[in-house]
Amino acid sequence: NAGVMQNPRHLVRRRGQEARLRCSPMKGHSHVYWYRQLPEEGLKFMVYLQKENIIDESGMPKERFSAEFPKEGPSILRIQQVVRGDSAAYFCASSPTPLTGGNGYTFGSGTRLTVV
């Protein structure tokens, strides 16, 4: 059973370009969470999605960032018109149920976005 798969592992974008980060949850997991890790910081929650629904986007910047989890295919975190401050590691996690049991997520290996 493959773990949470994120790609690409590294992504370099010039300022003003778009970045698309992909996350395939573990088999059987229908809940996906995106977190961002700025340099020398802990992970910070961005958004929680179920299939075709955004459940909680309270951690998402109001502009330029969007996320989706379609019925088929991976979850996508999209950053439009990237700026240098978007440089970070972006992690995806998945779970089979909402985090009510406190089991802790299964995280992917992250995508490191570098904006030049």
Partner 1 sequence: AQTVTQSQPEMSVQEAETVTLSCTYDTSESDYYLFWYKQPPSRQMILVIRQEAYKQQNATENRFSVNFQKAAKSFSLKISDSQLGDAAMYFCALALNRDDKIIFGKGTRLHILP
- Residues with Cβ < 8 Å from 5, sequence gap 6 or more? 23, 24, 74, 108
Specify the residue, 66 or 107, whose C-beta has the smaller distance to partner 1. Answer: 107
Q: Which of 5, 11, 59, 87 binds partner 1 (CB under 8 A)?
A: 59
- Interface with partner 1 in residues 72-111 (CB under 8 A): 89, 91, 93, 98-105, 107, 109-110
- Cα 18 from Cα 11, distance rounded (Å): 11
- Residues with Cβ < 8 Å from 3, sequence gap 6 or more? 26, 106, 108
Give the tokens for residue 55: 């459940």
Per-residue mark of binding to partner 1, 28-57 (x: CB under 8 A) = ---x-x-x----xxxxxx--x------xx-
- Cα 47 from Cα 1, distance rounded (Å): 25
Specify the residue, 72 or 101, whose C-beta has the smaller distance to partner 1. Answer: 101
**Applying CB under 8 A, which residues contact partner 1?**
31, 33, 35, 40-45, 48, 55-56, 59, 89, 91, 93, 98-105, 107, 109-110, 112
